[in-house]
Amino acid sequence: SPSNELRYHVDGELVPASRATVRVDDRGFRYGDAAFETLRAYGGTIFEWDAHAARLEATCDALELTHGLSRADLLSRIDETLSANDLSDAYVRLSITRGVQPGKLTPDPDVDPTVVVYVGSLPRGGLEGNPVWDGPAALETVDTRRIPNDAVPASAKTHNYLNGILARQELESGDEALLCDGEGYAAEGATSNVFFVEDGALYTPATDGPVLPGITRRVVLECAADAGIPVEEGRYRPERLRDADRVFLTNTTWELRPVASVDGVAIERDDRVDDDPLETLSRMYDERVEDRCY
Ligand code: PMP
């Protein structure tokens, strides 16, 4: 393999990306029976590791996936993968599948998990830097509904991404899908949480609905509290977003990504308002990355 090929961590070993494989009878492949996290390293440090580790544990609890690996073990596999690839600013994906088992749906309680870490270079963005996204998002409400929590809990971050894939495939002109819950209230993007600003206050769908409790979402709410920006978590129709002063999306790789339009309606901020909460929150997010990783 070419010497510049990335190396991934598969079951305790670093292997070239092109040879990083799992078996066809692995439950992660067969059923999507796996927990994962997408993380970001800045200057070699995983941002919000404890929060990601806690969410991974919550996912494994929800799946009753007992893998027997400690947080420290998982973090050292991530660190090893970063070092082996000489990466300090990176995208990191950590997956734990229920492993290879006989071909029946009911899982065996004895689990030999498959643990995969893969990484990619991702330079730090920030306000003046190069954002990861191409530009502000065009958000489009789709008909595909977010799977209800009593079917597959949205709080569990599993390999089961068909809901989001179908939503993305439905897009006509937008580049992120807005999925609503069964009653038509905005839930989240296919891979992002959604926020809007109205008269200086911040609104976001509550996580008792079918919404992944995003780590970025949590940091943004923390920043809003520190900045004295009023916050409401609730249930909102997509129309509320179209009429908002500001709309933005959050996830680990995008950080805070502005939304330029919702369902083709341009989001126009009120220039009579001096403070732009999105600018304030983006700056504060950047400061937290700086403080916690460097
Ligand atoms: N919702 C969904 C469905 C996602 O896939 C993601 C990306 N992990 C998010 C929200 C944002 O979560 P986070 O900020 O933890 O990346």
Ligand 1 centroid from CA 103, angstroms: 31
Please check whether residue 187 is in contact with residue 181, taking contact to mean a CB–CB distance below 8 angstroms.
yes
For 159-204, the pLDDT digits (tens) are: 999 999 999 999 999 999 999 999 999 999 999 999 999 999 999 9
Ligand 1 centroid from CA 163, angstroms: 13
**How big is the CA angle at 53 (ends 51 and 59), to the nearest 5 degrees?**
105
The neighbouring-strand residues paired with 233 are 204
For 157-166, the pLDDT digits (tens) are: 999 999 999 9
CATH 3.30.70.1290 assigned to 7-121: no
Whether complex ipTM tops 0.90:
yes
Helix axis angle for 215-227 and 49-63, nearest 10°, is 130
Instruction: Take atom 10 of ligand 1 and give the residue whose Cα is closest.
Output: 192
Residues with CB under 6 A from ligand 1: 38, 164, 188, 191-193, 212, 214-217, 250-252
**Helix residue ranges per DSSP H, 107-172:** 162-169
pTM higher than 0.90: yes
The type of residue at 125 is G
Ligand 1 centroid from CA 257, angstroms: 13
For 258-271, the pLDDT digits (tens) are: 999 999 999 987 66
For 271-280, the pLDDT digits (tens) are: 666 789 999 9
Ligand 1 centroid from CA 40, angstroms: 12
Matching residue, tokens 């954002």: 131
Ligand 1 centroid from CA 254, angstroms: 10
> CA-CA distance, 179 to 144, in Å (whole number)?
6
Atom of ligand 1 nearest to the CA of 188: 1
Q: In the CATH scheme, what architecture does the domain 137-293 have?
A: Alpha-Beta Barrel (3.20)
Decide: residue 169, CB within 10 A, 0-12 exposed, 13-18 middle, 19+ buried.
exposed
In the chain, residues under CATH classification 3.20.10.10 are: 137-293
In the chain, residues under CATH classification 3.30.470.10 are: 7-121
The neighbouring-strand residues paired with 117 are 9, 94
CA 143 to chain CA centroid, nearest Å: 22
Instruction: Take atom 3 of ligand 1 and give the residue whose Cα is closest.
Output: 191
